[in-house]
A and B are shown apart, each in its own frame.
Chain A
């Protein structure tokens, strides 16, 4: 029984069957990659996991509890954090403030009416945020406006924000899309380190096979809205069906 169980999920947009009969089980403390050609339904599946979309059929459960019908913030409070394709951070706020917000979400829950508390008196949240920034190597940028950072730094910040809530499952949506090679490698190293240091399950959607094969312990290949095959990276590499559907196009892997 995995920490994330997707059963018979289907989703239809008008005439397009985006997902049909998707079954997926992500085991605890593993890195599970979901790959597939464009339009395979990867993003739709991800959106179904975090409450942005509600599937037409099937069920999605996290740690034995259904996530269907819950709002994104509730799902996040259950322990699922999401990293977006383009880094979603609080651009108008400083890096430090960006780090404090998930701290408050963890400490105080989804809503806390505390207009008379002093931000600077929240020593626990501040210390935690400081620590997280140090850990990510962003400490010297703490007073910077988050929007003015480089893309790589924004990605690090976003990951740091997600991690600071100690999620049990981290969902990554093409975390290296549009990144330069050096930034991509840095991100891979960062994710490897996270995997080693924490008890965390990571589900990753990625186009870049280099990233997938450097990180994943299990891979699900999605094609035309259904899982084609699920196996270890080594087996996936040699799988004829996968080559046909997907890897055949990619020079990098061969």
Chain B
């Protein structure tokens, strides 16, 4: 169905069910319980899950398939964000033109940068993309925000002002916020069941729907001859060239496609919150998407989505844990021990979340280069080996992989 084989189709269906039911699944704890702080089912965070999922899926098409490690993908995210807000400013608050433009501009921008950076591979490529992203950041932060020519509104961030043209905006009929054909992105349906409260948000469902399309397209790319060529680039570029294939346009196409994914993610970020700032283009943001992809498993289909979700979830949860929470956790210990535990854990939570992130990053790269997906496979294999040992029948004929 849809041009997918049974296995990919079931993966897509599972992801679809999970995203559609996310407001339920991510709120497992009653709203007034102590565990409610671990709930993730509120619109703001869920939107981030799917938007950064899109970002990571796109990044994975470049890094996971071709092995080209870009350290500048946040630039495309930023370009997408700005484009979308500009559409709000010029046309009106309907998100569709903005999202469409963000994909187009980021694609063009990626084409331009790709043409230059892809002249080199390996480390050189990583450094060049990093430099380009930093330059874009500097451009957005200061160069393109001067009275003569203000494209980005610098430090304040680009947003819609009352005197913006908004040619097609009709404030009597349409909300004064991003909307899709009149339905505000912030519209949230709250449903209370017992002690639980579930929030169904328009913005989330739009983003989730788009993510599913992106995920589907990524599967198709992975399973296409084009996708195989990208893996060939990673595997042996020399052989590829001596097989009569020009690897440059393949990598460029992958770069542009992943840039468009990033731009789309940026556009959606603006669609759910119409403020685009330059900090989205900083190298830390580029590093974050690399981390998501690696953590989940580069080169796998589901890995990047998983990584994006986990990092955004832990970022949110870890940042919320402060000393009071810690004291609450360890209150069962004797006083001295309690304080010791709190002191020990304190640097890693709350504002220290980035420290934890860095450590996770190093551990994953060092011990689990294939990410969580590989980790899961390893555990799976260990379990199945145990089982087959337990069975221990001499006539056991395991089908060879």
Contact = CB atoms under 8 A, between A and B. Distances in A.
Asked if A and B form a direct contact in the complex, defined as CB atoms under 8 angstroms apart, the reply is: yes
Nearest to B253: A113
Given A101-B243, A112-B226, 19 more contacts: A71-B241, A73-B240, A73-B245, A76-B242, A88-B239, A90-B231, A91-B236, A92-B235, A101-B229, A101-B232, A101-B245, A104-B228, A105-B244, A110-B246, A115-B217, A115-B221, A116-B221, A117-B226, A118-B223
B358 interface: no
Contacts of B220: 115-116, 118
Interface in A55-89: 71-73, 76-77, 81-82, 84, 88-89
Given A71-B246, A101-B243, A120 B232 contact: no
Interface of A: 50, 71-73, 76-77, 81-82, 84, 88-93, 97, 100-102, 104-106, 108-120, 122, 125, 161, 165
Contacts of A165: 243-244
B39 to A, nearest CB: 38
A110 B234 CA distance: 17
A160 to B, nearest CB: 12
A172 to B, nearest CB: 13
27 contacts: A71-B246, A73-B243, A73-B244, A73-B245, A76-B241, A88-B236, A88-B238, A89-B239, A90-B240, A93-B231, A97-B228, A100-B225, A101-B243, A104-B228, A106-B244, A109-B244, A113-B226, A114-B225, A114-B226, A115-B220, A115-B226, A116-B220, A116-B221, A116-B224, A117-B224, A118-B3, A118-B220
Interface in B122-172: none
B227 interface: yes
Contacts of B228: 93, 97, 100-101, 104, 119
Nearest to A87: B239
Contact of A119 (B227, B239, B244, B249): B227
A102 B221 CA distance: 19
A39 to B, nearest CB: 23
Contacts of B5: 120
Given A92-B235, A93-B235, A111-B250, A104 B225 contact: yes
B225 A92 contact: no
A125 B226 CA distance: 14
Contacts of A71: 241, 246
A111 B224 contact: no
Interface residues of B, number: 31
A2 to B, nearest CB: 22
Interface secondary structure of B, over-half rule: helix
B257 interface: yes
Contacts of B227: 115, 119
Contact of A112 (B225, B235, B243, B257): B225
B257 A73 contact: no
Contact of A76 (B3, B221, B244): B244
B236 A73 contact: no
B242 A81 contact: yes
A67 B362 CA distance: 48
Interface of B: 3, 5, 217, 220-221, 223-229, 231-232, 234-236, 238-247, 249-250, 253, 257
Leading 8 A-B pairs by shortest Cβ distance: A76-B244, A110-B246, A90-B235, A92-B235, A88-B239, A105-B244, A115-B226, A111-B249
A121 to B, nearest CB: 8
Contact of B241 (A72, A97, A122): A72
Given A76-B244, A105-B245, A90 B225 contact: no
Which of A93, A113, A115 gathers the greatest number of chain B CB atoms within 10 Å? A115
Given A115-B226, A117-B225, A105 B231 contact: no
Contacts of B238: 88
Given A77-B244, A102-B243, A90 B232 contact: yes
B292 to A, nearest CB: 22
Contacts of A109: 244
B243 A161 contact: yes
B65 to A, nearest CB: 11
Nearest to A165: B244
A241 B100 CA distance: 74
B223 A111 contact: no
A7 B318 CA distance: 71
Contacts of B247: 73
Contact of A50 (B221, B225, B239, B242): B242
Contact of A111 (B217, B236, B245): B245
A23 to B, nearest CB: 25
A97 to B, nearest CB: 6
Contacts of B232: 90, 93, 101
Contacts of A72: 241-242
A82 B239 CA distance: 9
Contacts of B225: 100, 104, 108, 112, 114, 117, 119, 122, 125
B62 to A, nearest CB: 13
A82 B242 contact: yes
B245 A120 contact: no
A14 B238 CA distance: 25
Contacts of B224: 114-119
